[in-house]
Structure 1
Amino acid sequence: MQDCLHTPDYLVIYRDKVVVYEIKPLEVLTSLIKDRPHHWAYENGFFTYLPPHKHFEEMGITHQVVPSETISWIYSENLRIVSSPAIVDSECDEHTLSRIRQFVAKHEPTCLATVLERLRLPNGMDILRAISDGQVFVDLERCSLWDPENLSICSTLGNARLVGTAVHELAAEARRGEDMAWVTCNPKHLLLVGLRFALVMGADTSEFGSISTYGERTHQRLRKAYKDQGLQGLIPKWDKCGRKRKYSPEDIDFAIARIRIDRGSTNHDSVQQSFARYRVDISEAAKQGKVIGSVGISLYYGLWRRRRHNLKDAHGVGGKRKANSDSPYGDPAVQKPLCTLPFQVAHSDHCSLPVLCKESDRFPQLSSLVCHKHQEILAAVVRFEPPSTVTLGLLMRQCVRKHGYLPRYIYTDCGSDYRSKQFTIAMADLGVSVMHRPPARAKAGSEIERYHWTLQETAIKGGTGYVPPVKTTRGVSSSHQPRNLEHRRHRDLLVDINIAIDMINDGSAYEEDGQDLIRLRKQSEDLFGPQGVPHEMDFRFHVCTSPFIKDAHSVTEARGAIRWNDRRYLSPVLVGQSIKVTALHPRLDPESGGSVMYFFLDGRWHTAICRERLASAGRSIESILKEAAHDYEARGATASLLPLHEAIEVSRRARRGDNRLTSYSGPDLSRNLRVAASDYQSLEAYVTSGSSNDEDFLVAPTPCRQSLDSALPDSGDIDEWDDLGEIEIHDGDAP
């Protein structure tokens, strides 16, 4: 029998056993049983992968196959929050815990935001630590922690379960597609609703001390109310207290009847059109002698949003809705979110920019990291070289420089650079998990594609060197072809991109409804703590983000040098030794301009420096030994992008010396023009006369705070890692 490699997903150690879990979607498990019946089996409601099951059983380990559909995504997301390093490693004094316990006992059920505000705590990590330690309780399987307004925190485990039961049952009623306004129960009554439901269902009430105060007559009344009205009969009649309701149930039902017709129409009527028809219906009903109150536009909007027509209509024709990948519409309310907090999941992809630059014949390539939660642009890099593991390493460095964290998960397409061994090893060393988009789901990861399209429509289109689609330039004379017109300077391109990224992140790019994505992320970090993987720009991080050298097949020289590409990289560790270079696993630092190489020897990483390269670049050994760590100065979507278009136009006219623009009255744009096109390239020394080759304009590294005009051009042989331009993404903290 041929040996095969098998890697399970999780290894869990219990007090009395060790279990290996393998998680797969139910659809995949069903197809495996059909295609490989000799390897897979289904008995007594459990899936079994026979070869590893037998292998682990011989070692005394239990192997279990779990369908992913059986795992509660709410529970897993809650565990991700309370088990994050920021929460586990935090220190909370007993006085703060006592204040939290007393407040929750007095105001249960309460929410994270209320406790934080009333107790005036600096952040929400003390509350989450109290939940993790069992000081206060939340039903983690039914109630979400990532919503700070969710009233689910209780003083006892029993009360938390009652609140979770009420939330679960009310959500189940809402998913049935009925037009029932009562499912929006007042949150302060969740505990009472859960208590009554547990009593009616005959659950074990030994842990609920308050139930013992209920008499038998109350038990009978609640059972009868549940039998006649369902869950609605258990909700307190709080709506009958106080002033009389403005609209009767008949008024609401009349409006819902019109909404049911219009939302199910194939004409895709808008809510405004539906409300106009509703007003006409009211007039016709009045002529017939019916007395029906007209609801306001705001209430009509709420009823319109509440109408879940897709699910009910699909069941009405004899089947469920199609899969989300095949259906033109999807309801986010019933889909598992990819993440719940910033920096948990980030999308990464590359985009070819349709613009011609003076410095190269190739199109610039934009690589970026976009947070899935709020679509904040975390990091971006521009190069003229095709995307590779070098680009990804530089992208990780840019993200850590700006934020000090890497995303816990990177969500990518199935590109070769993301599936390479180098990237896999680097992410494993950095503690970052990589998820690939399913090939059958074309809509997955569309957030970063939308950002790339917005960037092309604003920072690229309409400027010098823009390359329109082929169908636009077909039939145009050669003198008007983009390659024969004026090309854009690389520096100007980076300035436009930097303006677009700044304004998208702070929300000023949109004419209306723009959200400050940086502020949203910082608010989340204040409540739940940073969710990313913390890193520093130290020696280890630079090694992990440096690509391996594949074509080094020589032997180290006796004077302590590694010879590669007609260069010698010197290190005192190698003096007097003759070692195959491939055994040293050499890496080349992508930001050193070919000056620094890392190699592995005697259980640790070392640095080898090319002195000739440093001399030609005008740099010192001391600057290289700082590990190329640059400290940047931090500073600071459905609406129109008019403000972003105007800002880029102002910048372009300013660079042309055209001061005739008078229509823009926005804030001073000087804060957006501080662009670090590259941490080691001289932007003024890009162009050499008579040539547009990459190797003619690239220069050696210069310190970040050094003047751009002071870098010395280098006409020597430059390797592929030199061609890089980085975009500085600001976090908006400093003025």
Structure 2
Amino acid sequence: MLTELQFHRYLEEHNLSQDAIDYIARVRSSEPSRMVGTHARTNICSWTYSTKMGQTISSESRKGEKAFVLLAEYDDMVVEIWDQLEPVTIIKTIKTGRRQRYSYTPDFLLLKNDGPCVVEVKMEEEVLEKIQCNPSDWIKNSDGSYQHLPAKEAFGKAGLHFIVYAVPSSPGFKVLNIENLIRNRSYESRSLSTSELDRVFDESFCWSLYELRKRLKLECYSEILKAIDREELFFDWDRQLISEPKGCFLVRHKAHLEFVSDFKGVGVYEQSDSISVNAARCPTEKQAEAAIAKIERIRSGEAGRSVRRWKAQIKEGEARGVSAFEALIPRWLYSGNRRTRLTHSQESCLKKFLLEGSTLYDNESRFKSTYRLYIEYRSYVKDIDQAFTPVSKKTFTKALERIAPEKLAKLKGGRRAENAASAPSNPLDRQLKADIAWQRVAIDHFLAKIYLVYFDGDYPYVMRPWVTVMLDLATSSVLAFCVSFKAPSRVSVARVMRECVRRHGKLPREIIVDRGADFRSVYFYALVAHNMIELVLRPASHSRYGAEVERLIGEFKTQWLSQRPGNLTDYKNARSFDGESKPDKFAVMSAYDFYCEFERFVQWRSFNPRGIISESPAKALARHEKEFPFMAIPQELNEEYMVASSVDQGKYKVDYARGIHIDPMWYYNPELRQYQGQKKSLECRKDPDNPHVIYVLVGREWIQCQTSSINRFSSLDPVSQRVESLLVTESYNDKKLIKQQADEELVGILREMTEKSEDRRSMILEVSSDESDKMDSGEGQSIFDALKGAEVSQLATEDWEVKHVWDD
């Protein structure tokens, strides 16, 4: 960031107008004109720390503005970056063609070495859409750049250059590479010498990042990344990731990049086209035998009417360009009269009866017999017109069988039954199944048929847990799971996403989920967009989708849980047990044991055969990760992701003496003190995994606030940490009810003790200190004489405050 002296020199160097100077000065001296995300619904708001500025830069979209911030941070031509500028008035064209005044807030102000400029950042497809919808205000230049004419005119009057930065549809690789290089700048490591690089690249003109590190015997990639940053090494920014070292190929000279493709493998997928071949060109064996027999009879010199007809067919086929064999193939497929013999009135009446006028199911939801339906049909026809002729029972039966099964199922069971009975879709129109690990996963919830203890007093208090599972569809591997006492919510989704990152350090490319409220929440959309994950919502009430996770749930119930002494799944054999020995009487387990057992089940399942695959899920996952490392999205469980995956809780009041009180605990961070007297409440996000951590929006950045138990929590084993998070946060309200019942019992106990106490109560007197000193000095009077003139008062006891255990 420029000092005041450097800033004044910058203004003089570029000879700016007074309006431009005033605008830039107001931007530099004031806070951002608005807080990003106030009206955002699906876009990701980011706060990125800028080394150039020494502060955070806010961006309202991750793909657009965040990418631009990183590019500007990496660009040596940029000396300052300012976000959320002061709004200006522009005149733009509305739909009616009339021009109208509007307030416009640009995204960024850049102070570059070649002069200042105001920037509007938009996705390229959004700009193209604006050009199509409003060509009066948006245009595309001959050099491929874009212009927003109203904003350009408004800032042009002030003497400032305005540009539209159109972010390409897929700028991800370059942005991620720049982000890694920026982070590497702050890492202290030695610089590779020119002689070292020349000596290695004399052996081979191209090295992968992985092999180059091994060849140079380096402990990490930092030295090589700094050489890339200095433009001493080059790679394909748009096609390779430096975060995937084995797939990132480096060259010494930029001109050699075009030859790199000859040294690396390229995964290519070619979708097959639809094939439709006439049956005459590929006849069945029976048809081919008939055609060959005809040809042999012609060649034998046989004469006759049939032979003459066959020769005519051959001659006609030659005119069409087909062989004699194809011309003589029997056309049995075209034989027969396929026209209906029913009149239009009979067809419409029959169709109306079957789909509208009849009740195909009785009160017990069972099919009526075909005969009973036919009798009702005849009665229905007579009621319409006595002279109308009904169809025969055989025709009626065929018409009934031709009714689409899904229509009959809808009458019986609604939309879900209709979807289950519907015909399969065309395989060529279906989405291809995942065949590489991390290509596509499914997330779903299920209510486990077991009870977990959440409070143990005179007797255990229990609840049934919800389990959220992330399943890889290519290998059928369970990538992550979490347990919750509450119904599926944003917290469950956040936990399983974090668990995946914690276990594997990566996230899938695509997530398939149902249309539950938790998956359709703005939070979940923002979370997957944060990692550029493709989100797929499977059809509602369709049992054919999500079968992979449902199969996993079924396996856990039948192959594992039903084998345990206590469960709710062994309903088939329950009648063979006495009432006190039924499995559901013992379906109680501690949360710790349930976590351990489900983990063991997942491990056991990952090394067993699955379907037609010749290797276990664990082996397939490991092989795919080795062969296709680019498929998964790398993701560290860093501070940014911790905040991004936390759940919004709203604004909470701040007690600057104790911190922020949420549910049973107080959270505090010394940084809160700097806002004492300025803010009464702050925006908070709750960590879904750690009950002792929340994130508070202070200024333009999120800070972490902790409870006094944070150090003890860090010393627990991983399973105990998850169990404590489950028991502390999700059973708090239930424990409050238990506490309320206990308090009510206490009132009864105190009342009973009061009734049994003595009616008379002793008076406790307090003697003043002066009289006590006289008695101690022995001035010749007895204690009773001294008490006659002493000042006495009733002893005042301190108030006792009843305090909950979890109020600490």
Interval containing the TM-score (normalised by the shorter chain): 0.3 to 0.5
Structure number with greater Rg is: 2
Q: Which has the higher strand share?
A: 2
Query: Greater relative contact order: 1 or 2 (C-alpha under 8 angstroms, separation 6 or more)?
Result: 1
